[in-house]
């Protein structure tokens, strides 16, 4: 038996979480370094997985689809197995997660420091426990579970992780704020608490419905293993009544749509991202939410191909609403972080539209979109976090003229904004255009309506930039320091990646394309031929 | 030589990267680095041009394939360049005028503390503009297209501390994004129709699809061109864009970027040739804009905004010519190049005037400046003669040809209408440019000390600024004539754009004669109004049309009421709907799953213990679920 590389990759952050939590209370800095080191080690492990993975391996049987596979009996009397494996889509998202967490850790370096002003007893974050250790341990915990969920090929294992990651996320949202509440710490704590509970309940409800569907799937198929189900289907031994398939599909899809989030199940996200600290907000939207869209690709389409097709019109309509509605709401926000949250809702609309367009451009584009959105949102949100920490306010109206006093901060914020509006030359353009063209090829009207997002995206990002960064320098902004070395170390690599993947996205598309072709063959779809070819 | 094409882009791109990342260390030498790299690119362009001249006509299209950019299924986008006669013309114009304006900016921006950034952005602009004209497919063209938009955004808003500059920059970008919808849809249509969006592939496959598709593609390309080239109905950003430093107005908003729409249409000639309805739309847009811009130009007192109206109008001529098909493509490009010379020269002249007048832009506060700045006066005057089409100068050769071609649209009424509009435009051009000339350089001095008691002391600008003006003046005088020797320019472009001789509805000498007559009429009217009578420092109320033209023919008012106000109401009500309705309904529905809504509301006032309670609840559900599973 070979070395369990995938387990090791997921275990590294989990071990890191325990190690970080175990650091004595007084040695906060050591805990931070511990967390950073483990997140970097995870990145190395993830890169090994990505490079060991052979995207062009010929798939002869369903078992070949997932590489570096591991399989052990877990809950034997119920057929639940600990089964891992990685395909191109999973590899891309594994890479994204492992890449972003070190930046999240570094960006949140001081977010969980206890306050030194003697009033620490009032602070929720500095109550009875060790907030710094806890903060970083929770981040690593989330990373471990997210990574494992990208690797799980057993439906039940995936479900457990899908639900379990809510727990550390809940504490991260509810326990740590950015001390920028407009009405004092007490009010802020209430808001945080509301946001955390809303996050938890929305996702728990989604999860419960999914649980019912998971059980239903077992009743129908007698197994939780993706591979076994695919083998049974290939051999013609896997029959599902049309209605059963549709119900099960809806059960899965609902949970993923809450997490993604898709309109109208999106309202928890602005609360959560608004109240959480910027690094945690990045963790939510750039990492955890991706499990939702990833799961649509892996579970909804693979397990329920016919039902997926049946539901496509409605899902495309909801995705379109998300795109336009999210962007319009972003325009109307007064709070920087909520604005970015609504922008994310718009972007998730694009991702879901790409998935259900059922074309190779749409789905490769959607996967690439997940990666690029992760990087661009991280860049924008983390710089926004640095900004908010300096001024102690999330309100756009409290800023103005920042570029005059902090040109590097303003410059990086602008690059993040340009990435968010999908400027050609930066990574998100590639994925957004692929999604658009992939959708247009099958559903021209949907594709054309979605192009409205091109204008609205520019509107909310540039309005945000204009109001915060340009104009006369506001009073409280005057003494604002520019980015520090640590902060620059967070932002500069992200920007470099945005440019690199904008010019040369081929490494990611090469990784993803074969897996997408597999998914398309699951749903028995082929790309529409160009008119000129079709005529011949 | 093919391998040098990428270097055209690489040099200014390197400049932008070095200047932006180099930080304050480079503040003292940044402008030298930027200018040197612009000249490096120009040098490479000249080398490639000489090489191209040495080749036979069929062999002049060079290609350089760098790497595969976005390969997904049938969607294959490459980073690849194509340099043919059309691209070469642009490359020379962009790098040539671009280098001159770098030199000019060394003087103009000498005292600006953010000079290094300015040169970085100028370099970035050059790189993007070069990508735009040498891309070998529409998607890479899109990168350049948006790149110049970004550079334009950064440079219009260069003085960001002025809210008006920041607003103008954002407006320019947003209006251009509306045009980008057109470019995006056009590319998507090409992909689904032809399976490719490379120039070569589209060219080959054009004949294999119906006119409907081609018309749709053509109209979408026109929408894109309207945004970038400030054509009606997407013209409203150009006037505001004058907030940028004047060298920027000269390079980006007169000589190069705003003409990208003309390039796009001429480059897509095969599509338009097969889609007459789309062509008609192009001609109409050009005709409307050429009048629109000219009328606005007549009413503006701000020298840069008057010139901006003029730019819009002159590009209207080019777009119109491009819509005429093979009888117009070459003339559109020829006018584009001569306009690049004289309009850049005029803007640099305006900048020189502002430089000497404490940045005053109101022409009503100028007057009699010819005595104080003779070089500016002479170079500006030559540009003036060129743009109004004074016989023998550049504008005469290029604009006259467009008027002829417009009269040749067809044998019937449309030929007369389009020709008449083009002719009328020439008259208005003479009027507003004469007005600018007289108000600025002739008459009595009208400037006063400002509130702080500083009186402007007009003076000639330094050599770094006057030399580029002199070079451009040479172009304004001679380029048109040179291009027309033996139809040299037309023959040069013919292999790319095709060329058919126009057959106007009236004879060519009659057209030339009428052009000269309307020119004299326009100039004479302006002389009567502004030369014979003193110019009041405060503008008179003016007729209804004048007042409307001062407000850009009310387009901004329309935009404000419909788009801005309407949009604000829409987003505000949506924020309300999201907060109370969507959230409420979903929470309410969730109540069905165990009173979540009520619990949520109660938990809003919760403190630390609420976490514990709800967390315990969550975990309990999880455990219960797992146990349930085991029990089943």
In a domain, B621, yes or no: yes
CA distance A59 to chain B (A): 18
**Cis bond leading into A261, ω under 30°?**
yes
Beta bridge partners of A335: A395
- To 10 degrees, what angle do helices A407-420 and A485-503 make? 30
Minimum-distance CB partner of B583 among A78, A267, A430: A267
- Report yes or no: B128 and B148 within 8 Å, Cβ to Cβ: yes
Nearest to A522 by CA among A115, A177, A233, A176: A233
pLDDT value for B470: 95
pLDDT value for B621: 61
The reply to whether residue B72 touches residue A361, judged by beta carbons under 8 angstroms, is yes
Q: Which of B139-153, B384-398, B530-544 has the lowest mean pLDDT?
A: B530-544
Cβ neighbours of residue A398 under 8 Å, at least 6 residues apart? A391, A474, A476
The reply to whether residue A328 touches residue B570, judged by beta carbons under 8 angstroms, is yes
Nearest to B479 by CA among B371, B399, B380, B585: B399
Minimum-distance CB partner of A325 among B574, B608, B610: B574
In a domain, B375, yes or no: yes
pLDDT value for B629: 52
Tell whether the torsion through CA atoms of B83, B86, B87 and B93 is positive or negative: positive
The reply to whether residue A437 touches residue B73, judged by beta carbons under 8 angstroms, is no
Nearest to B468 by CA among B130, B13, B107: B107
Number of other residues whose CB lies within 10 A of the CB of residue B581? 12
B219-270 residue pLDDT tens: 999 999 999 999 988 988 999 999 999 999 999 998 999 999 999 999 999 9
Q: What counts of helices (H) and strands (E) characterise chain A?
A: 24, 2
Same domain, B459 and B323: yes
The reply to whether residue A201 touches residue B629, judged by beta carbons under 8 angstroms, is no
Spatial distance between the Cα atoms of B207 and B186, rounded to a whole number of angstroms: 17
Quote the mean pLDDT of chain B.
88
Interface test with chain B among A170, A332, A372, by most B beta carbons within 10 Å: A332
Tell whether the torsion through CA atoms of B110, B115, B119 and B121 is positive or negative: negative
What's the complex ipTM? 0.93
The reply to whether residue A201 touches residue B599, judged by beta carbons under 8 angstroms, is yes
In this model, does residue B607 exceed pLDDT 50? no
Instruction: Report how many domains make up chain B.
Output: 2
Interface test with chain A among B13, B19, B67, B73, by most A beta carbons within 10 Å: B73
In a domain, B218, yes or no: no
| Chain B residue with the nearest C-alpha to that of A511 | B72
With b for 16 or more beta-carbon neighbours within 10 A and e for fewer, the B443-459 pattern comes to: beebbeeeeeeeebebe
Same domain, B379 and B497: yes
- To 10 degrees, what angle do helices B85-108 and B30-53 make? 160
The reply to whether residue A451 touches residue B173, judged by beta carbons under 8 angstroms, is no
Spatial distance between the Cα atoms of B158 and B175, rounded to a whole number of angstroms: 19
Minimum-distance CB partner of B193 among A204, A265, A530: A530
* Residue B560, both tokens: 């404000």
Work out the average pLDDT over A441-460: 93
The reply to whether residue A200 touches residue B145, judged by beta carbons under 8 angstroms, is no
In this model, does residue B631 exceed pLDDT 60? no
Beta bridge partners of A154: A225
- Report yes or no: A259 and A206 within 8 Å, Cβ to Cβ: yes
Spatial distance between the Cα atoms of B410 and B77, rounded to a whole number of angstroms: 39
pLDDT value for A121: 42
Share of residues in chain A with pLDDT > 90 (%): 65
Same domain, B437 and B514: yes
Cβ neighbours of residue B411 under 8 Å, at least 6 residues apart? B505
Beta bridge partners of B362: B302
* Residue B115, both tokens: 């000079």
Spatial distance between the Cα atoms of B236 and B551, rounded to a whole number of angstroms: 10
- Report yes or no: B482 and B122 within 8 Å, Cβ to Cβ: no
Spatial distance between the Cα atoms of A441 and A101, rounded to a whole number of angstroms: 36
Spatial distance between the Cα atoms of A311 and A92, rounded to a whole number of angstroms: 27
Number of other residues whose CB lies within 10 A of the CB of residue A180? 22
The reply to whether residue A78 touches residue B188, judged by beta carbons under 8 angstroms, is no
pLDDT value for B534: 83
Interface test with chain A among B139, B188, B564, by most A beta carbons within 10 Å: B188
- Report yes or no: A378 and A282 within 8 Å, Cβ to Cβ: yes
pLDDT value for B451: 75
pTM of the model: 0.92
pLDDT value for A129: 57
Same domain, B392 and B445: yes
Share of residues in chain B with pLDDT > 90 (%): 63
| Chain B residue with the nearest C-alpha to that of A258 | B586
Same domain, B490 and B444: yes
Nearest to B59 by CA among B39, B40, B85: B85
| Chain A residue with the nearest C-alpha to that of B144 | A424
Secondary structure class of B459 (helix, strand, coil)? coil
Secondary structure class of A333 (helix, strand, coil)? coil
Interface test with chain B among A462, A465, A501, A511, by most B beta carbons within 10 Å: A462
Please give the sequence-ordered ranges of beta strands (E in DSSP) within B543-600, or none if there are none.
Answer: none
Same domain, B590 and B459: no
Quote the mean pLDDT of chain A.
90
The reply to whether residue B574 touches residue A332, judged by beta carbons under 8 angstroms, is yes
pLDDT value for B65: 92
Domain-wise residue ranges, chain A: 5-116+128-522
Spatial distance between the Cα atoms of A402 and A470, rounded to a whole number of angstroms: 6
Which chain A residues are closer than 8 Å to B148 by Cβ? none
Q: Which domain holds residue B399?
A: 302-328+335-540
Write the CA distances from B31 to B11, B102, B248, integer angstroms.
14, 8, 15
The reply to whether residue A532 touches residue B75, judged by beta carbons under 8 angstroms, is no
Minimum-distance CB partner of B192 among A189, A459, A531: A531
A176-229 residue pLDDT tens: 877 665 567 777 888 888 888 888 888 888 888 899 899 889 888 888 888 888
Residue B295 burial (C-beta neighbours within 10 Å; 0-12, 13-18, 19+): buried
Cβ neighbours of residue A89 under 8 Å, at least 6 residues apart? A294, A297, A298, A367, A512, A515, A516, A519
Please give the sequence-ordered ranges of beta strands (E in DSSP) within A356-448, or none if there are none.
Answer: none
A302-333 residue pLDDT tens: 999 999 999 999 999 999 999 999 999 999 89
With b for 16 or more beta-carbon neighbours within 10 A and e for fewer, the A58-95 pattern comes to: eeeebbebbbbbbbeebeeeebbbbbbbbbbbbbbbbb
pLDDT value for A14: 95
Strand pairing class (A80-86; A67-75): antiparallel
- How big is the CA angle at B254 (ends B289 and B234), to the nearest 5 degrees? 35
pLDDT value for A117: 47
In this model, does residue B483 exceed pLDDT 70? yes
Work out the average pLDDT over B487-508: 89
In a domain, B457, yes or no: yes
Residue in the block written with tokens 């947003």: B174
Number of other residues whose CB lies within 10 A of the CB of residue A513? 21
Spatial distance between the Cα atoms of B144 and B133, rounded to a whole number of angstroms: 8
DSSP letter (8 states) at residue B302: B
Which chain A residues are closer than 8 Å to B582 by Cβ? 263-264, 267
CA distance B145 to chain A (A): 9
Same domain, B564 and B535: no
Minimum-distance CB partner of A466 among B68, B166, B567: B166
pLDDT value for B367: 84
Same domain, B571 and B621: yes
A476-519 residue pLDDT tens: 888 899 999 999 999 999 999 999 999 999 999 999 999 999 89
Written as one string, the DSSP assignment of A103-146 is HHHHHTTTTTPPP-SS-GGG-GGGSSS-HHHHHHHHHHHHHHHH
CA B128, distance to chain mean position in Å, is 13
Same domain, B525 and B590: no
Residue B592 burial (C-beta neighbours within 10 Å; 0-12, 13-18, 19+): exposed
In a domain, B85, yes or no: no
- Report yes or no: B124 and A425 within 8 Å, Cβ to Cβ: no
Which chain B residues are closer than 8 Å to A138 by Cβ? none
In this model, does residue B608 exceed pLDDT 70? no
Which residue would you say has higher pLDDT here, B555 or B230? B230
Nearest to B369 by CA among B310, B467, B446: B446
Cβ neighbours of residue A315 under 8 Å, at least 6 residues apart? A253, A262, A352, A356
> Is residue B606 very low, low, confident or very high in pLDDT (cuts 50, 70, 90)?
very low
B2-27 residue pLDDT tens: 789 999 999 999 999 999 998 888 88
- Report yes or no: B155 and B248 within 8 Å, Cβ to Cβ: yes
Q: Which of A445-459, B407-421, B587-601 has the lowest mean pLDDT?
A: B587-601
Q: What's chain A's Rg over C-alpha atoms?
A: 22
Minimum-distance CB partner of B181 among A194, A433, A451: A451
Same domain, B362 and B448: yes
Same domain, B529 and B577: no
CA A195, distance to chain mean position in Å, is 18
* Residue B553, both tokens: 């023919």
CA B107, distance to chain mean position in Å, is 24
Same domain, B369 and B480: yes
Interface test with chain B among A470, A495, A507, A533, by most B beta carbons within 10 Å: A470
With b for 16 or more beta-carbon neighbours within 10 A and e for fewer, the B499-538 pattern comes to: beebebbeebeebbebbbebbeebbebbbeebbeeebeee
Strand pairing class (A67-75; B62-72): unpaired
CA distance B151 to chain A (A): 12
CA distance A193 to chain B (A): 7
- Report yes or no: A284 and A171 within 8 Å, Cβ to Cβ: no
CA distance A506 to chain B (A): 6
CA distance A353 to chain B (A): 16
In this model, does residue B142 exceed pLDDT 70? yes
Number of other residues whose CB lies within 10 A of the CB of residue B578? 23
- Report yes or no: B52 and B88 within 8 Å, Cβ to Cβ: yes
Q: Is residue A67 within a helix (H) or strand (E), and if so which, with residue range? A: strand A67-75
The reply to whether residue A360 touches residue B575, judged by beta carbons under 8 angstroms, is no
Interface test with chain B among A207, A363, A448, A531, by most B beta carbons within 10 Å: A531
């Amino acid at each position: 038996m070979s070395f369990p590389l995938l387990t090791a990759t997921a275990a590294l952050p989990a071990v890191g979480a325990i190690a970080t939590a175990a650091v004595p209370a007084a040695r906060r800095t050591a805990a931070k370094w511990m967390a950073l080191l483990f997140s970097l080690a995870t990145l190395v492990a993830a890169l090994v997985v990505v490079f060991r993975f052979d995207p062009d391996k010929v798939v002869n049987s369903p078992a070949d689809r997932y590489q570096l596979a591991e399989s052990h009996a877990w809950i034997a009397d119920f057929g639940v197995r600990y089964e891992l494996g990685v395909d191109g889509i999973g590899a891309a998202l594994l890479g994204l997660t492992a890449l972003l967490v070190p930046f999240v850790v570094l960006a949140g370096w001081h977010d969980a420091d206890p306050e030194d002003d003697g009033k620490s007893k009032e602070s929720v974050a500095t109550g009875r426990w060790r907030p710094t250790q806890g903060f970083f341990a929770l981040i690593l915990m989330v990373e471990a579970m997210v990574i494992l969920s990208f690797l799980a090929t057993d439906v039940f294992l995936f479900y457990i992780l899908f639900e379990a990651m809510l727990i550390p996320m809940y504490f991260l949202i509810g326990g740590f704020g950015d001390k920028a509440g407009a009405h004092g710490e007490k009010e802020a704590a209430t808001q945080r608490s509301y946001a955390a509970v809303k996050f938890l309940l929305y996702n728990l409800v989604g999860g419960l419905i999914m649980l019912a569907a998971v059980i239903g799937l077992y009743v129908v198929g007698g197994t939780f293993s993706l591979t076994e189900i695919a083998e049974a289907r290939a051999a013609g031994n896997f029959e599902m009544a049309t209605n059963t398939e549709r119900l099960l599909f809806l059960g899965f899809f609902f949970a993923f749509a809450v997490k993604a989030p898709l309109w109208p199940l999106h309202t928890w996200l602005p609360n959560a991202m608004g109240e959480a600290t910027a690094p945690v907000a990045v963790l939510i939207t750039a990492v955890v939410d991706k499990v939702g869209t990833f799961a649509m690709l892996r579970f909804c389409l693979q397990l329920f191909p016919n039902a997926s097709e049946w539901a496509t019109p409605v899902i495309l309509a909801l995705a379109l609403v998300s795109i336009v509605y999210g962007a319009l709401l972003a325009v109307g926000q007064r709070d920087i972080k909520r604005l970015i949250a609504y922008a994310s809702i718009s972007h998730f609309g694009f991702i879901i539209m790409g998935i259900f367009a059922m074309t190779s451009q749409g789905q490769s584009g959607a996967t690439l979109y997940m990666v690029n959105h992760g990087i661009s949102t991280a860049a924008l949100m983390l710089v926004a976090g640095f900004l908010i920490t300096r001024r102690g306010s999330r309100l756009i109206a409290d800023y103005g003229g920042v570029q005059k006093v902090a040109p590097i901060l303003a410059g990086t914020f602008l690059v993040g904004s340009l990435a968010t509006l999908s400027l050609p030359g930066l990574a998100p353009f590639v994925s957004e255009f692929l999604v658009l063209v992939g959708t247009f090829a099958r559903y021209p009207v949907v594709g054309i309506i979605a192009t409205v997002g091109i204008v609205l995206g520019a509107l909310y990002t540039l309005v945000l930039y204009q109001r915060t960064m340009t104009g006369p320098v506001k009073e409280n902004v005057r003494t604002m320091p520019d980015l520090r070395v640590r902060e620059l170390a967070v932002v500069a690599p992200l920007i470099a990646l945005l440019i690199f993947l904008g010019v040369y996205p081929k490494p990611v598309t090469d990784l993803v394309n074969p897996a997408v072709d597999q998914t398309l063959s699951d749903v028995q779809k082929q790309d529409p031929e160009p008119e000129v070819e079709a005529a011949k | 030589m093919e391998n040098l094409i990428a270097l055209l882009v690489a040099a200014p791109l390197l400049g932008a990267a070095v200047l932006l990342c180099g930080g304050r260390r480079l503040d003292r030498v940044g402008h030298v680095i930027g200018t040197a790299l612009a000249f490096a690119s120009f040098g490479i362009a000249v080398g490639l041009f000489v090489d191209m001249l040495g080749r036979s006509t069929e062999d002049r299209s060079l290609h350089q394939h760098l790497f595969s950019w976005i390969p997904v299924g049938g969607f294959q986008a490459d980073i690849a360049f194509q340099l043919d006669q059309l691209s070469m013309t642009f490359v020379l114009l962009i790098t040539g005028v671009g280098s001159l304006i770098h030199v000019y900016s060394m003087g103009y921006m000498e005292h600006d503390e953010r000079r290094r950034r300015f040169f970085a952005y100028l370099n970035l602009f050059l790189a993007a503009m070069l990508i735009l004209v040498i891309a070998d497919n529409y998607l890479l063209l899109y990168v350049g297209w948006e790149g110049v938009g970004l550079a334009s955004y950064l440079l219009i808003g260069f003085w960001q501390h002025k809210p008006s500059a920041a607003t103008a920059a954002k407006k320019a970008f947003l209006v251009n994004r509306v045009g980008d919808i057109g470019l995006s849809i056009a590319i998507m249509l090409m992909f689904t129709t032809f399976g490719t969006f490379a120039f070569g592939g589209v060219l080959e496959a054009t004949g294999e699809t119906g006119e409907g598709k081609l018309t749709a593609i053509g109209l979408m390309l026109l929408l894109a061109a309207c945004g970038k080239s400030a054509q009606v109905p997407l013209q409203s950003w150009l006037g505001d864009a004058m907030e940028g430093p004047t060298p920027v107005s000269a390079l980006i908003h007169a000589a190069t970027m705003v003409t990208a729409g003309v390039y796009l249409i001429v480059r897509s000639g095969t599509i338009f040739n097969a889609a007459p309805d789309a062509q008609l739309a192009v001609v109409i847009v050009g005709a409307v804009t050429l009048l629109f811009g000219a009328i606005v130009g007549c009413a503006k007192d701000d020298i840069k905004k008057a010139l901006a109206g003029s730019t819009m109008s002159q590009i209207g001529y080019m777009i119109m010519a491009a819509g005429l098909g093979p009888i117009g493509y070459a003339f559109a490009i020829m006018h584009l190049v001569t306009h690049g010379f004289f309009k850049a020269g005029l803007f640099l002249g305006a900048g020189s005037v502002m430089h000497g007048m404490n940045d005053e832009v109101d022409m009503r506060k100028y007057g009699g400046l010819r005595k104080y700045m003779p070089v500016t006066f002479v170079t500006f005057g030559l540009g003036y003669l060129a743009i109004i089409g004074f016989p023998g100068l550049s504008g005469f050769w290029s604009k006259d040809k467009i008027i002829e071609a417009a009269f040749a649209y067809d044998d019937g009424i449309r030929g007369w209408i389009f020709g008449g509009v083009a002719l009328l435009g020439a008259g208005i051009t003479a009027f507003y440019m004469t007005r600018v000339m007289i108000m600025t350089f002739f008459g009595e001095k009208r400037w006063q000390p400002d509130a702080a008691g500083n009186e402007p002391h007009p003076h000639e600008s330094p050599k770094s600024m006057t030399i580029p003006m002199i070079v451009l003046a040479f172009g304004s005088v001679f380029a048109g004539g040179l291009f027309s020797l033996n139809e040299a320019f037309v023959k040069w472009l013919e292999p790319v754009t095709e060329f058919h001789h126009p057959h106007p509805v009236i004879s060519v000498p009659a057209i030339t004669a009428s052009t000269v007559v309307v020119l004299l009429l326009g100039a004479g009217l302006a002389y009567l109004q502004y030369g014979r009578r003193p110019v009041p420092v405060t503008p008179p109320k003016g007729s209804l049309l004048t007042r409307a033209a001062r407000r850009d023919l009310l387009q901004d008012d329309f935009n404000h009421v419909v788009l801005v106000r309407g949009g604000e109401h829409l987003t505000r009500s949506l924020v309300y709907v999201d907060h109370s309705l969507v959230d409420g309904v979903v929470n309410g529905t969730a109540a069905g799953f165990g009173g979540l809504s009520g619990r949520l509301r109660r938990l809003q006032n919760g403190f630390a213990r609420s976490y514990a309670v709800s967390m315990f609840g969550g975990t309990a559900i999880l455990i219960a679920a797992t146990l349930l599973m085991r029990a089943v």
